C-alpha cells in the first residue's frame, strides 16, 4: 500500500444532537490549542437566513444560494442557537447542493497546518475522512433531550421536555436517514457514550482518546 502524505492533525467529532459533542470538541480544542469549528452553525445559518428571507426550506436553489453567502462572521449570531434554528438546519442539511457549497469552507478550515477540531455529523466520513483522530459522541435520546431542554430553557425558551425529546427523535431520523452524507460513525471512529458521564468525565475520556491518536500520528511521521 502506498504511503499517503501526512496531513495536519485534525480531530473529527461527530454525533447526534445534544450528545455532548460540542462541549467535548470545544474542550479538546482549548486543551490542544487548536482552532475549532462547530459545523452545525453553518447549516443553522443557512436555515436562519432562509427563515428571515421568508423562503421555503424546500426551495433548493434558494438554500444553495444562502449557503454560498455563509462567512465566518455570521456564525456568532445568537439567533443560531434556538430550537427553531436547529430544526431549520436539519431540513436544509438534507439538500446535497447545500452540503456541497459548505464543503469548501469546512475543508479549508480542516487543512490549516497547525491542526484543527471540527464537530458535526459527517466530519469523519466526508469532510475529513483522513483525520488522524475521530470520535463519535453519543448518548441516549432521553439524556440528550434533558440536556437540550436545560440549555433552551436557560436561554429563555418556553418548551416542554416532551417536545424536546420528540424534536431529538425526529432529528435523529432525518439526519441519519437522509441520502446526502447521513449522520454515521466512521469505521475508524472511537465511540464515546456520554449518557452516564458528567461534562468533565466526557472531556477527560475524549482527551485520552485523542492523546492516543496523537501518539500514533506522531509515531508514523
Ligand atoms: O449540531 P447541530 O445541532 O448544531 O446541527 C444542526 C443540524 O445541522 C443537524 O440536525 C444536521 C445538520 N448538520 C449536518 O447535517 N452536518 C454537519 N456536519 C453538522 C450539522
- Grid cell 466526557 in the structure block, residue: 202
Distance between CA atoms of 108 and 1, rounded to whole angstroms? 27
Sequence spans of domains, the chain = 10-219
User: What phi, psi does 121 have (nearest 5°)?
Assistant: -120, -25
Pick the CATH number of 10-219 from 3.40.50.920, 3.40.30.10, 1.10.1200.10, 3.40.50.300: 3.40.50.300
Q: Which atom of ligand 1 is nearest to the CA of 17?
A: 3
Ligand 1 contact via 20 beta carbon (within 6 Å):
no
pLDDT in tens, 70-85: 999 999 999 999 999 9
Alpha helices (runs of H) in the chain, residue ranges in sequence order: 21-32, 40-52, 60-68, 83-92, 96-110, 141-154, 161-177, 199-219
Query: What's CA 148's distance to the chain center, in Å?
Result: 15
pLDDT in tens, 41-58: 999 999 999 999 999 999
The residue-averaged pLDDT of 119-144 equals 97
Q: pTM of the prediction?
A: 0.95
> Of 99, 121, 138, 172, which is best to mutate to test ligand 1, by the most ligand atoms within 8 angstroms of its C-beta?
121
Q: Which atom of ligand 1 is nearest to the CA of 118?
A: 18
Ligand 1 contact via 122 beta carbon (within 6 Å):
yes
In the predicted structure, residue 156 carries a pLDDT above the cut 80? yes
Which pLDDT score is estimated for 17?
92
Question: Which residue has the CA at smallest separation from atom 10 of ligand 1?
Answer: 90
Question: Which residue has the CA at smallest separation from atom 20 of ligand 1?
Answer: 40
CA of 194 to the centre of ligand 1 (A): 19
Question: Which residues fall within 8 angstroms of residue 61, CB to CB, at 6 or more apart?
Answer: 97
Which pLDDT score is estimated for 150?
95
What's the longest Cα–Cα distance across the chain?
Answer: 56
Distance between CA atoms of 196 and 96, rounded to whole angstroms? 35
> Of 90, 99, 135, 186, which is best to mutate to test ligand 1, by the most ligand atoms within 8 angstroms of its C-beta?
90
Distance between CA atoms of 221 and 217, rounded to whole angstroms? 7
Ligand 1 contact via 171 beta carbon (within 6 Å):
yes
Which residues partner with 119 through β-bridges?
Answer: 13, 38
Question: Which residue has the CA at smallest separation from atom 5 of ligand 1?
Answer: 40
Question: Which residue has the CA at smallest separation from atom 12 of ligand 1?
Answer: 90
pLDDT in tens, 191-217: 999 999 999 999 999 999 999 999 999
In the predicted structure, residue 35 carries a pLDDT above the cut 70? yes
Distance between CA atoms of 188 and 166, rounded to whole angstroms? 30
In the predicted structure, residue 3 carries a pLDDT above the cut 70? no
Q: Hey, what's the cell of 172? A: 435523529
Question: Over the chain, what is the mean pLDDT?
Answer: 95
CA of 115 to the centre of ligand 1 (A): 22
Question: Which residue has the CA at smallest separation from atom 16 of ligand 1?
Answer: 121
Confidence of residue 4 (pLDDT cuts 50, 70, 90): low
Q: Cα dist. 56→41, 61, 71, 91, 139 in Å? A: 19, 10, 22, 10, 32
Amino acid at each position: 500500500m502506498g504511503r499517503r502524505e501526512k496531513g495536519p492533525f485534525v480531530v473529527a467529532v461527530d454525533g447526534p444532537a445534544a450528545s455532548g459533542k460540542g462541549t467535548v470538541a470545544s474542550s479538546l480544542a482549548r486543551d490542544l490549542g487548536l482552532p475549532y469549528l462547530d459545523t452545525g452553525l453553518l447549516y443553522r445559518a443557512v436555515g436562519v437566513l432562509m427563515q428571515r428571507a421568508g423562503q421555503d426550506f424546500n426551495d433548493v436553489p434558494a438554500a444553495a444560494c444562502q449557503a454560498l453567502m455563509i462567512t465566518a462572521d455570521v456564525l456568532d449570531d445568537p439567533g443560531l442557537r434556538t430550537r427553531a434554528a436547529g430544526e431549520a438546519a436539519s431540513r436544509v442539511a438534507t439538500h446535497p447542493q447545500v452540503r456541497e457549497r459548505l464543503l469548501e469552507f469546512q475543508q479549508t478550515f480542516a487543512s490549516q497546518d497547525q491542526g484543527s477540531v471540527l464537530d458535526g455529523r459527517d466530519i469523519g466520513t466526508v469532510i475529513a475522512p483522513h483525520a488522524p483522530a475521530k470520535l463519535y459522541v453519543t448518548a441516549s435520546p432521553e439524556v440528550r433531550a434533558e440536556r437540550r431542554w436545560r440549555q433552551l430553557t436557560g436561554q429563555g425558551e418556553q418548551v416542554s421536555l416532551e417536545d424536546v425529546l420528540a424534536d431529538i427523535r425526529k432529528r435523529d431520523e432525518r439526519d441519519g436517514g437522509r441520502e446526502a452524507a447521513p449522520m454515521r460513525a466512521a469505521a475508524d471512529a472511537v465511540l464515546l457514550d456520554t449518557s452516564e458521564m458528567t461534562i468533565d468525565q466526557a472531556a477527560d475520556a475524549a482527551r485520552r482518546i485523542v492523546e492516543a491518536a496523537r501518539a500514533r500520528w506522531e509515531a508514523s511521521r
